[in-house]
Amino acid sequence: MFDLEKIRQDFPMLKNHPELVYFDNGATTFKPQVVIDKVEHYYTHATANVHRGDYALSVEVDRLYDETRAIVARFLNCDASEVAFLHNDTECLNQIVYGLSYQLKKGDIVLTSVAEHASNLLPWYRLKEQLGIEIKYLPVNAQGVVDLEAAKALMSKQVKVIALAHVTNVLGSVQPIQELCELAHQYGAYMVVDGAQSVPHRKVDVKALDLDFLTFSSHKMCGPNGVGVLYGKKELLENIPPLVLGGGMNARFQSDGSVLLKDVPTRFEAGTPNIEGVIGFGAACEYLMDIGMDQIHNYEKELRSYFAEQIKPLAHIQFYNPDNATGPITFNAKEVFAQDAAGYLASKNIAVRSGNHCAKILHELIGTDSTIRASLYFYNTKEEVDRCVEAIKEISIENAIGVFF
Ligand SMILES: Cc1ncc(COP(=O)(O)O)c(C=O)c1O
């Protein structure tokens, strides 16, 4: 059952900052007490390295760490052997690109879109430089959603990968991932999905969608920083080499340089991982599952629509994604720099993000480098939206600049 009042009690940041309207959840989210407790428990009651010791404390840490893998597997509907813990979404995407580089060659095509975050473009750009692969951008509509018919027209045997955000981070465009995944598989291509902005907000069932790879970050879904999840179908993970080599991920190595790796997913977890982060992340997933991902998704849709309907009539506001049902509210106040406008909102205790949001070629679609992004999460309220809307109504060149002089 979705009990907003109770949910808000779970977040110390909301209690400690009663005046703050936090609408920067696309960047990172607040943490509920259960997650904080789990991290603190590691430091106060169960500190040891993981998968390295034979004493009771170390075995207990192994149990807590491995338990998270089972929880994430339940969260995504996959096998625990298909879940590797890296350090963030960015590192997971780099791991996939590095791994697939061994299967790609000059002339192979990777399809992506101009709405992607840097983390899902720059690693592919490097392969373009190193191997001579081609990168093509799938046509999208004004709201950033991929046009399926155009995608079909671009498919050929040269296409080896479709790499897309499930939900984009500036416009909140929800891509037709299932259809694109089917299309990719018809041509023997892989579907790589950046789930940074979808997994925190909706149920993502990797088996039902038949995804090949999925990545996301703990910190954007109530979990600690420094934990990224790499999901891959087991047979695909077994066919990509790890990006980082070292302790913990090898079974044996010899002075002649031969190395035997551990099985997946451990071979992707070189060096000491973010143990307390992973353990805390297990608590975050359980917390979200207890509320219910469908309930979270439905509430956020309702809240976004409440926000959008109040922004649409404002003549001084350019609203870039009015037709997307989920994701952030992205806008500019006409003739006011995004950063100045965000500064004005900050003076009213409203936290939003301004700039290009790491999606630096999106301007090719929306015609501006800089926007204001108000990104919501399930602990936000209609009252907070009202406060934000009232402040947005007041944005003008005079009062935005007035904040700084
Ligand atoms: C769509 C998308 N991809 C990737 C990332 C990178 O996530 P992280 O910084 O946690 O690696 C973000 C972060 O904002 C994002 O929104």
The model's pLDDT over 58-91, given as tens digits with 9 standing for 90+, comes to 999 999 999 999 999 999 999 999 999 999 999 9
Domain map of the chain by residue range? Answer: 4-29+292-402, 35-290
pLDDT one-digit tens code per residue, 121-139: 999 999 999 999 999 999 9
* pLDDT of residue 178 exceeding 60: yes
Model confidence band, residue 204 (pLDDT cutoffs 50, 70, 90): very high
Largest pairwise CA distance in the chain: 71
pTM of the predicted structure, to 2 decimals: 0.97
Write out pLDDT tens, residues 220-237: 999 999 999 999 999 999
CATH superfamily of 4-29+292-402: Aspartate Aminotransferase, domain 1 (3.90.1150.10)
Q: Does position 1 have pLDDT exceeding 80, yes or no? A: no
Q: In the structure, what pLDDT confidence band is assigned to residue 362 with cuts at 50, 70 and 90?
A: confident
Q: Is the pLDDT of residue 23 over 70?
A: yes
CATH second-level architecture of 35-290? 3-Layer(aba) Sandwich (3.40)
Q: Which two tokens stand for residue 53?
A: 């010791």
Region 342-364: what's the mean pLDDT? 93
How confident is the prediction for the chain on average, in pLDDT? 96
Per-residue confidence band for 403, with pLDDT thresholds at 50, 70 and 90: low
Rounded CA-CA distance 306/310 in Å is 7
Mean pLDDT, to the nearest integer, of 275-297? 98
CA of 113 to the centre of ligand 1 (A): 15
* pLDDT score of 405: 55
Active site residue 285: no
pLDDT at residue number 404 = 57
Atom of ligand 1 nearest to the CA of 116: 1
What is the side-by-side order of every strand in the sheet holding 317-319?
A: 317-319, 329-333, 371-374, 353-355
Asked whether the domain spanning 35-290 has the same topology as the one spanning 4-29+292-402, the reply is no
275 CB-contact burial (10 Å; exposed 0-12 / middle 13-18 / buried 19+): buried
Interatomic CA distance for residues 301 and 72, integer angstroms: 24
Give pLDDT, residue 61.
98
Which atom, in ligand 1's list, is nearest to the CA of 27? 14
Distance 89 CA to ligand 1 centre (A): 6
Q: How far is the C-alpha of 137 from the C-alpha of 114, rounded, in Å?
A: 6
- Secondary structure (3-state) at 140: strand
pLDDT of residue 357: 86
The mean per-residue pLDDT over the stretch 374-388 comes to: 98
Which residue is it, tokens 């609203």? 319
Which residue minimizes the CA distance to atom 15 of ligand 1? Answer: 196
Min mean pLDDT across 225-229, 252-256, 267-271, 359-363 is at 359-363
State yes or no: pLDDT of 347 exceeds 60. yes
Mean pLDDT calculated for residue range 288-317: 98
How many whole angstroms from 216 Cα to the centroid of ligand 1?
8
pLDDT tier for residue 402 given thresholds of 50, 70 and 90: low
Q: How confident is the model at residue 316 (pLDDT cuts 50, 70, 90)?
A: very high
Ligand 1 pocket by Cβ (under 6 Å)? 88-90, 117, 119-120, 165, 169, 194, 196-197, 217
Among residues 78, 181, 285, 358, the one annotated as catalytic is 358
Alpha helices in 250-393 (DSSP H): 275-291, 293-311, 338-347, 363-366, 382-393
Report which protein residue has its CA nearest ligand 1's atom 14: 27
Which pLDDT band holds residue 331 (cuts at 50, 70, 90)?
very high
